[in-house]
């Protein structure tokens, strides 16, 4: 069983448990896949564990609304997985926002050119096991079911993007390559959402498990807060603050008990 605050897992870094303060003056920014829930071979197979939705909803109220989901998923996808609750959110790595849990989702980036989508989708035929996930303003190319082809797929994606629109960039992740607009990032999402009334003046806490979450962690740290990393293909035990999403959920439960419900 994972142990929160294991000194061997947190040596030389901030211990997440010791960091919790009795006051509620923090704002939470939480990645979803690999942070709140375990990574699945196929994104559509992810299932939130029992109690997660209630935990997040209670934290939302305990923090006066200062809780946001910051994810590479569409916000509509998050809503489906976390129904009946909805939350302030940044989806598609900051390509769309919902600044109040009762508001509509607002895009801030245009969909990727259909010609690029078509060219990238052909990689499924070139590399058996690779799965292309078009999401509108972003695309994910998963190679979890085709281990060993990550570099070759990345080279093909660079070739496809070269000579095209320069507003797109390629980033890596946990057995996935992401295409997204250059002007969006999870760091920008944390900064934008931190300006909302419910979040303003609070110390931001960003928790993530992948390369795309690093800009959000950096933004939280620049604002006087803290970032925590979850172990996986991206962050090993020498870097990770949490051993698993289950440990993150245990920490969130402890946080709720400290600040009240």
CATH of residue 127: 3.30.70.1020
Q: Interior CA angle at 29 toward 25 and 32, to 5°?
A: 145
Q: Which residues are catalytic?
A: 31
Is the confidence at residue 8, as pLDDT, over 90? no
pLDDT at 1: 38
Q: Which domain holds residue 254?
A: 7-108+184-259
pLDDT at 258: 87
Model confidence pTM above 0.75? yes
* Overall number of domains in the chain: 2
Model confidence band, residue 7 (pLDDT cutoffs 50, 70, 90): very low
CB-side neighbour CA atoms (13 Å) of 210: 25
One domain, residues 145 and 85: no
Whether 75 is in a domain gets the answer yes
Is the confidence at residue 37, as pLDDT, over 80? yes
CA end-to-end span of the chain: 26
Q: Where are the beta strands (DSSP E) in the chain?
A: 26-30, 67-70, 88-91, 96-98, 106-107, 131-134, 139-142, 168-172, 176-181, 203-208, 226-229
């Amino acid at each position: 069983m994972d142990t929160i605050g294991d000194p061997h897992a947190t040596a030389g870094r901030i211990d997440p448990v010791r960091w919790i303060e009795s006051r509620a003056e923090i704002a939470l920014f939480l990645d979803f896949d690999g942070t709140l829930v375990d990574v699945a071979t196929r994104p559509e197979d992810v299932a939130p564990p029992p109690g997660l939705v209630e935990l997040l909803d209670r934290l939302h109220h305990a923090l006066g609304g200062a809780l946001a989901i910051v994810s590479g998923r569409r916000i509509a996808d998050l809503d489906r997985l976390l129904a009946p609750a909805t939350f302030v959110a940044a989806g598609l790595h900051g390509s769309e926002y919902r600044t109040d849990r009762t508001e509509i989702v607002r895009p801030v980036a245009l969909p990727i050119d259909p010609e690029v989508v078509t060219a990238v989708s052909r990689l499924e035929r070139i590399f058996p096991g690779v799965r292309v996930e078009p999401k509108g303003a972003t695309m994910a190319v998963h190679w979890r079911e085709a281990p060993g082809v990550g570099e070759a797929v990345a080279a093909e994606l660079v070739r496809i993007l070269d000579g095209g629109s320069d507003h797109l960039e390629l980033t890596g992740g946990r057995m996935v390559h992401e295409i997204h607009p250059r002007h969006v990032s999870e760091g920008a999402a944390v900064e934008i959402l931190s300006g909302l009334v419910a979040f303003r003046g609070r110390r931001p806490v960003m928790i993530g498990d992948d390369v795309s979450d690093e800009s959000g962690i950096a933004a939280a740290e620049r604002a006087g807060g803290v970032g925590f990393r979850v172990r996986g293909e991206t962050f090993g035990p020498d870097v990770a603050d949490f051993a698993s999403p289950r440990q993150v959920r245990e920490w969130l439960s402890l946080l709720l008990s400290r600040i009240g419900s």
